[in-house]
Amino acid sequence: MFKNILGIAPKLESDDSYSPSKLALKLATKQKTDYKPVVYKKYQGKKSKILVIFTEQKNMKMQNGKMFSTGNHPVEALLPMMHLKNAGFSFEIATPTGRPVVFEMWAFPEKDENVKKFHQEYKNDFEKPKKLQDFVNNSLAETESFAAVFIPGGHGAMLGIPEDKNVGNILSWAHKNNLFTITLCHGPGSLLATTLDNQPFLYENYKMAVFPDSVDKMTPKIGYLPGQMPWGLSEKLKSLGANILNTKADNTVCLDRKLITGASPLAANELGKLATETLLKELK
C-alpha cells in the first residue's frame, strides 16, 4: 500500500507479470524520442539486407519468483532501423520460432509520430516474422545480400536468445563473412550464443557498450523491475573477456571491428546513426 501511494509499486498485469511503476515509467521512458530524420546517401549495392533478430518471449522470472513484463524495447529496436531504412537498407525480421515479436509496449513513445508511423509500416512483419531455423537453412548461402545482423535490446533479449544455437550459428556466420553485428542495452546477451557447445567467445577482447548490472540492481527500488535480475549480463560478458566501456545507462556507443554496440535506450538514436554511417562507409 505504501509503495502504491508513492507510485513505486510495479504494476500487476492480467497475466500475473509486472510492468514498471508509475515513477519508473516517468524516470525511464519518454513519450517522444530524440530521433530526427537524417538524409543519407542511399546505398545502391547488393548487400542491402539486414537480419533483425527479435525475442518472442514476454516474461522474465526474477530471483524472487515474480515475472517482469518485458520483450524488445521499442525505442532500441525501431530508431536504429529507421536510420538504416533512410539509407536504403531493408530488413528480414525473425524470431526463434516464428512467433510474433514482443515489444515492451509500456515503453512505446506514444507522442512520437515518426516512430508510430514506422512501427505501423512494419506491423505485419512483426506479427508474422520468419523462423531463425528457416533463415539458417535457406539464407546463410546468401552472404552477398546481407550487410549486418541486428539484435535489439530490452530485457527480453536475455530470454532464449543467448541459448539459441541458431543465434550462435548466425553470429558465427556474420563474423566469418565480415558482416556487421549491431546490438545494444541487453541485446549483447545474444553474443553469449557464440559460446554454445563449448565454443570460444567470438568477442573476447572486444570493446562494447552494454547495460550495466549495477543499474539493474538499483531499479527494483523504484519499481522498474519487480525483483533482482536472474543473472547479470555485463558481468557475464566481462568474465568472457569483453571490455565494457560504460558504467552508466547512457548514450555510449562503440564500434570495434565489425561489432557496433550501445549502452541503453538513450543510445538508440546514436547507435542508429553510427551503424548507418559505418555501413555506408564500409560497403562502398
Please give the Cα distance from 94 to 159 (Å, whole number).
15
User: What is the rounded distance in angstroms from the CA atom of residue 74 to the CA atom of residue 88?
Assistant: 21
The question of whether 254 is a catalytic residue gets the answer no
Query: Taking a C-beta distance cutoff of 8 angstroms, is the pair 7, 58 a contact?
Result: no
- Each residue's pLDDT tens digit, 99-157: 999 999 999 999 999 999 999 999 999 999 999 999 999 999 989 999 999 999 999 99
The domains of the chain are located at 17-27+48-282
pTM of the model: 0.96
User: Cα separation of 187 and 76, whole Å?
Assistant: 9
pLDDT digits (tens, 9 = 90+) for 267-281: 999 999 999 999 999
pLDDT confidence tier of residue 1, bands split at 50, 70 and 90: low
pLDDT band (50, 70, 90) for residue 2: very low
Q: How many CA atoms does the CB half-sphere of 17 hold within 13 Å?
A: 18
pLDDT in tens, 141-161: 989 999 999 999 999 999 999
Tell me which amino acid residue 220 is: P
* Whole-number Å distance between alpha carbons of 30 and 115: 12
pLDDT tens profile 193-241:
999 999 999 999 999 999 999 999 999 999 999 999 999 999 999 999 9
**What single letter denotes the amino acid at residue 41?**
K
Q: Which amino acid is at 267?
A: A
Considering the four listed CATH numbers 1.10.3720.10, 3.30.70.20, 2.120.10.80, 3.40.50.880, the one that applies to the domain covering 17-27+48-282 is 3.40.50.880
Which residues, 6+ apart, have CB-to-CB distance to 281 below 8 Å? none
From the candidates 24, 82, 185, 259, which is the catalytic residue?
Answer: 185
Check: CB of residue 62 under 8 Å from CB of residue 225.
yes
Give, in degrees to the nearest 5, the angle at Cα 268 between 123 and 42: 70
Nearest to 254 by CA among 190, 185, 192, 204: 185
